[in-house]
Chain A
Amino acid sequence: MRNISVILIFFLAFIASCIDPLDVNIDREVNILVVEGAITTQPGPHYIRLTISAKYGSIFDGFVRPIQKAKVIIRDSDGDNFKLIEVEGGSGVYATASDFLPVVGKSYTLLITTASGLEYTSLPEKINKAAEISELNAEFSKIPLVNGTFQTGLDVYASFQDDPEDKDFYMWKSNGTYQTITFPENYLARDPNGGPAVIPAPKDCCKDCWVTELGDRSIRLLKDDNVNGNVISDLAAYVEDDGIRFADKYLIRIEQHSLTREAFQFFSLLRDQISINGDIFDPPPATLRGNMINLTNPDENVIGYFRASDVSIDSLFLTKEMLLEPKPLEQIDDDCRTYNGGTSLKPDYW
């Protein structure tokens, strides 16, 4: 349904609508705990990130601070406790032990005690079984943009058999790996006296790299209300053809996560809030409530959701041939390792 909004923006563009930054002065500031993270049935470690919300405004206005030195524990429905260790670097990230392996059917609770002694707990989060992905396939997509050009790429669909017994909720996450082919021999160095990079300075290495990236930012969710018990095929990822990704081929890995109803509700509300873009189909601003409770002050809201999911994974090589209208390749005249954290180690599956 969300593409309605895009459409309407286009229409409104026609009747002379426009979007402008608006200078507003917000004098409120609420500083509350934000919990982000999930545990899954995949091998760990799994991470939980704790931060504090900040004043809305420019980047200088409010800084989202991490919460350090908290005591973070996950308790399962058998009563066993698993301690999380703060990851070095002070980013407020806490990791489970790498041998901590959640299992389908058990419930998990996140317990947090901050350095200042505030206590938080999640509601028990049960891991439901995630259906196995039976097939992945890709379809060329071409989206017109307002400036008259097109954005092209591949939509990746995951097919699976939905369980007719239960109400099921799904979320897709993805990541991908692709090869970059660059021209280090054409590298131009910058004039030491300033000015543009014009001085030829060929590099010996490296020409072939592999970049691994997270999937696009969209939150992809499905509930089986209208498709219960069917073989479902739904959009799980989108890979944009940016003129670099499809130098050779692209490996897309799709993770299909099971969700509880409460997790689905939280993430669909988060998705709606993120997708607000000013059109008439926009949902009104809503208060995000997750499954975390402040035990010290139960009236205070805690943002975020502690999620526990079963995951099934499948992967697919996307090929240049799938792009019906491939973009011309962009030439990068540099060591390929300088582009997007590429590595010159060829993965063994390539």
Chain B
Amino acid sequence: MKKLLILAIPLFFIATISYGQDRITIGTPNNEFNIHNVYGKIIARKDKESLPGVNIYIESLQKGVSTDIDGNFMIKLRKGAYTLSVTFIGYKEAKVLINVVGDGRLMIRLDEDLTQLDEVIVTGREPDANVSSTDIGTTSLSVEAIKELPPFLGEVDILKTITLLPGVSTVGEASSGFNVRGGGSDQNLILLGGAVLYNPNHLFGLYSAFNSELVDNVTLYKGGISAKYGGRTASIVDINYKDGSMTNWSGQVSVGTVSSKFSLDGPIVNNKLSIALGGRVSYINYLLNMINDPSVANSEAFFFDGNAILTYKLNDNNKLKYSFYQSGDQFRLASDTAYVWQNQAHVLSWTHSFNENFAMDVSFVRSTYDFEIQNESSLNSFSINSGIEDNAGNLDFSLGIGEMQELSFGVQAKLVSINPGVLKPNDNQSSINPKTLETEKAFESAAYFQHELELGERIALSYGLRYNLYNYLGPKTISEYEQYIPLTEESKVSDSTYQDNEIIQQYSGFEPRASLRYSFNGTSSLKLGYNRMYQYIQVISNTTSIAPTDIWKLSDPFIEPQVVDQYSIGFFKNYRDNAWETSIEAYYKDINNIVEYKDGADLILKENLETELLTGKGRAYGLELFIKKKRGKLTGWFSYTYSRSLRLVEGAYPITTVNNGDWYPSNYDKPHDGTGVINYRFNQLVSFSAIFTYSTGRAITMPSAKFNYEGLDVAYFDNRNQDRAPDYHRLDLSLSFAFPAKKKIFQGEWVMAIYNVYGRKNAYSVFFDDVEGLAPQAFQLSVLGIPFPSFSYTVKF
């Protein structure tokens, strides 16, 4: 290993680095000059690539340099002996001992540090996990990897990053939520530190409602979902908080053009109790007030969020963790109507290890979501409050059986109550009568097991079963309707009143889950997956996209739970020692009991909501390609999805039928969807990243005719979603500079980003209008149709 060549200028010095090596002499003795130029080149041992941005530091002089784009560096040194510390992300640190006697050159080879790299790219998973595990339809991302990508409107945004993955799409810029494999955005279970997030958005979907700084990693399950998870039919997004450090304090402050945030974590009691805190606040308000436009300056748009995580390590076998989350939004624009919403979550968990192989996790989770519309008009002012309260308890066990098997099992219970709306007049002058809709309540419980086992070298199997039991509870008044005619307020026959906690309706079901892996060799595998999912709470929305005014509705005697069966198959192959991951996956889904609404349905503050609703079926299928490069200066991924998402609402009467009883594309059906993400690290200090995304325009409805009414030309629609909005595409770029700090007290980083670089005017919606002075025609509304620059500066300490 130790191969030293010591040659005079202009010969090349090649130094092979290992621990405890000999000192390298640089140059030929030269008494004329005291200061000498030491030239060097740093390359990776494995692929001989030169490494730019490598730090070379001399502790005794407190002096350092970095390599240039070709991996070269030069440092002026007096005669004497020095130790060069060579550090580069993803590589093992090297200590090189040199003795400078004259001008000279040396070459340093660095060994890759695989463990460290994996921390950077993917957290908590083996580098070949995508091939070797039984996971199908699962993607994990670390926040570190997400931070490398161009920020969305100036913010590192975990949920927006998820929409770049195959099988995930979004309707547009200001639409909250995302669609996974043809499912609605209410079919995603978003768990923040274990708590359900009912509204994951700030500012109507422009930003995610939580601070990425306190997040460690996020996993998206879109198929082959473990029996541990239930309650939503399309996907689980499991966002894990990081624990505060048990040994030292650190933190960061980030100042951006839209918002500022901070995070801080460290030990309260060394190695016993740690805390992590984070907060974020927007100052769009000030920006709005600065704009010289009365409609904008009189507006208000404010959001904040905060988290606190306490981790208490009783001993090696017991850990207690408590997390708190709060978000708030207030939105008012040049009018007398304000929208206010907030999320709150508490999670208390106790993790106990009985022994090396057997662990238990007990958790209590409370999450609430409140929404309010405040109207302060001079006449008839009012407020409407609505909300969700979700209290859950979980008991989960995991048991390792030998090297080859793992069993997890547990029971979960939750009590959900929904306040559908309370209308209150704001003052005595208002002629509004107060109105309170009856609260809905349900108790949902489940028991599950999931068994993972290796069957020899090639086959692994993971199977599980979840049994759920749902009780829709009183107090509540349930109406009965005449049979054989559509449900309307007129067809109501009588009312039945149920007492508190009396069971009004019970549903239950088995949810089998299974996935199978067959390995061809160490680098490729074929996987099959099946899962059935139940969902007892759905969003009823009659807006084109998702608005916070949407109504959550529990399954009741009229609305049966949504049940989805998904079948999936995937081929996974890695190349170059897991540096490249590739996969191709296909899926088919049957969706039952999707809630739709009648044309012109009136949903706000509606008693007997069932009279406005319809139920239908859905099916979705697709093919997803994914190529990811995980290591090297250039990292990133490319994904392509072909998918369809279709609906069928076939009622007995015209008013209970949609699209004449034929299959029609859902609002978020976008057959082609491709995304390319690259990150190029010039050196340790400077990196560049780009996102390009393209998709077919969403399904829209175009008029079949126009007619003249009340003096206007009005569009007539007789089908649904048979046409397409223009294609969506967008390029985002970002450049980040880190300031090197000799002492790690203050490390600063600038991020400059441009969203929608070439100012594509993507259609947020297409509508038809008869504007005075113009022919009746189609219009498109685009949100962020110009390049949107943002800057942020982050200091770590």
Contacts and interface: CB of A to CB of B under 8 A. Distances in A.
Contacts of A330: none
Contacts of B720: 284-285
B508 interface: no
Interface string B748-776: 00000000000001011111111000111
A157 B379 contact: yes
Contact of B295 (A28, A144, A272): A144
A3 B337 contact: yes
Given A10-B295, A10-B296, A24-B702, A56 B776 contact: yes
B301 A32 contact: no
Interface stretch (A74-82, A222-230, A245-253): A222-230
Contacts of A281: 543, 547, 549
Interface in B686-734: 701-718, 720, 723, 726
B706 A286 contact: no
Contacts of B175: 280
Contact of A274 (B174, B703, B712): B712
A201 interface: no
Interface stretch (A58-66, A175-183, A321-329): A58-66
A135 to B, nearest CB: 13
A227 B433 contact: yes
Contact of B766 (A18, A22, A225): A22
B481 interface: no
Interface in B271-310: 288, 291-296, 298-299, 301
Given A3-B337, A228-B433, A56 B783 contact: no
A349 B770 CA distance: 37
Interface stretch (A125-133, A231-239, A312-320, A331-339): A231-239
A56 B715 contact: yes
Nearest to B547: A280
B785 interface: yes
B547 A287 contact: no
Interface string A255-284: 000000000010011101110111111111
Q: Which of B605, B705, B720 has the most CB of A within 10 A?
A: B705
B778 interface: yes
B655 A289 contact: yes
A324 B375 CA distance: 24
Nearest to A28: B704
B599 A226 contact: no
A219 B784 CA distance: 32
B543 A283 contact: yes
B293 A148 contact: yes
Interface string B245-269: 0000000000000000000000000
A346 interface: no
Interface string A40-58: 0000000000010111111
A15 B783 contact: yes
Given A51-B707, A228-B433, A16 B333 contact: no
A30 B599 contact: no
Contact of B764 (A17, A24, A54, A304): A17
A53 B715 CA distance: 9
Given A29-B704, A277-B767, A53 B294 contact: no
Contacts of B776: 56, 59
A17 to B, nearest CB: 5
A282 B543 contact: yes
A12 B337 CA distance: 16
A118 interface: no
Interface size class, chain A: 35 or more
A341 B731 CA distance: 55
B378 interface: yes
A285 B599 CA distance: 8
B431 to A, nearest CB: 5
Contacts of A13: 295-296
B777 interface: yes
B786 interface: yes
A52 to B, nearest CB: 8
A17 B781 contact: yes
Contacts of A198: none
Interface in B412-452: 423, 431-433, 435
B395 interface: no
A292 interface: no
A234 B600 contact: no
A22 B333 contact: no
B708 A22 contact: no
Interface string A1-13: 1011011101111
A150 interface: yes
Contacts of B332: 7
Contact of A217 (B298, B710, B713, B715): B710
Nearest to A17: B783
Given A53-B707, A58-B777, A274-B712, A231 B431 contact: yes
Contacts of A56: 702-706, 715-716, 768, 776
A268 B601 CA distance: 10
A24 B783 CA distance: 20
Given A150-B294, A230-B433, A281-B543, A270 B709 contact: yes
B785 A18 contact: yes
Given A148-B294, A217-B711, A273-B715, A55 B706 contact: yes
B544 A280 contact: yes
A286 B767 contact: no
A36 interface: yes
Nearest to A218: B710
Interface in A87-146: 139, 144-146
A345 interface: no
Given A53-B716, A234-B380, A280-B547, A11 B299 contact: yes
B706 to A, nearest CB: 4
A284 B705 contact: no
Nearest to B297: A144
B779 interface: yes
B782 to A, nearest CB: 6
A282 B726 CA distance: 19
A340 interface: no
Contacts of B292: 148
A6 B299 CA distance: 12
Given A14-B288, A22-B766, A29 B705 contact: yes
Given A10-B334, A16-B785, A53 B705 contact: yes
Contacts of A32: 705, 716
A304 B296 CA distance: 39
B667 to A, nearest CB: 8
Contact of B784 (A16, A233, A286, A287): A16
A169 B185 CA distance: 36
Contacts of B701: 284-285
A34 B705 CA distance: 11
A19 B780 contact: yes
Q: Which of B334, B546, B763 has the most CB of A within 10 A?
A: B334
B431 A232 contact: yes
Contacts of A6: 335
A146 B293 contact: yes
Given A22-B780, A56-B705, A282-B543, A15 B206 contact: yes
A21 interface: yes
Contact of A30 (B334, B654, B705): B705
Given A56-B716, A226-B435, A276-B768, 15 more contacts: A3-B336, A4-B335, A12-B174, A12-B783, A22-B780, A30-B718, A58-B777, A148-B294, A274-B714, A278-B765, A280-B546, A282-B543, A282-B767, A289-B599, A289-B654
29 contacts: A7-B333, A13-B296, A14-B299, A18-B785, A21-B779, A23-B778, A24-B702, A24-B778, A28-B704, A29-B704, A30-B718, A34-B709, A36-B708, A36-B709, A51-B707, A51-B708, A55-B706, A64-B713, A144-B334, A145-B295, A225-B605, A231-B431, A233-B431, A273-B714, A278-B767, A280-B765, A284-B701, A285-B720, A286-B717
6 closest A-B pairs by CB = A278-B781, A286-B599, A269-B600, A7-B333, A53-B705, A144-B294
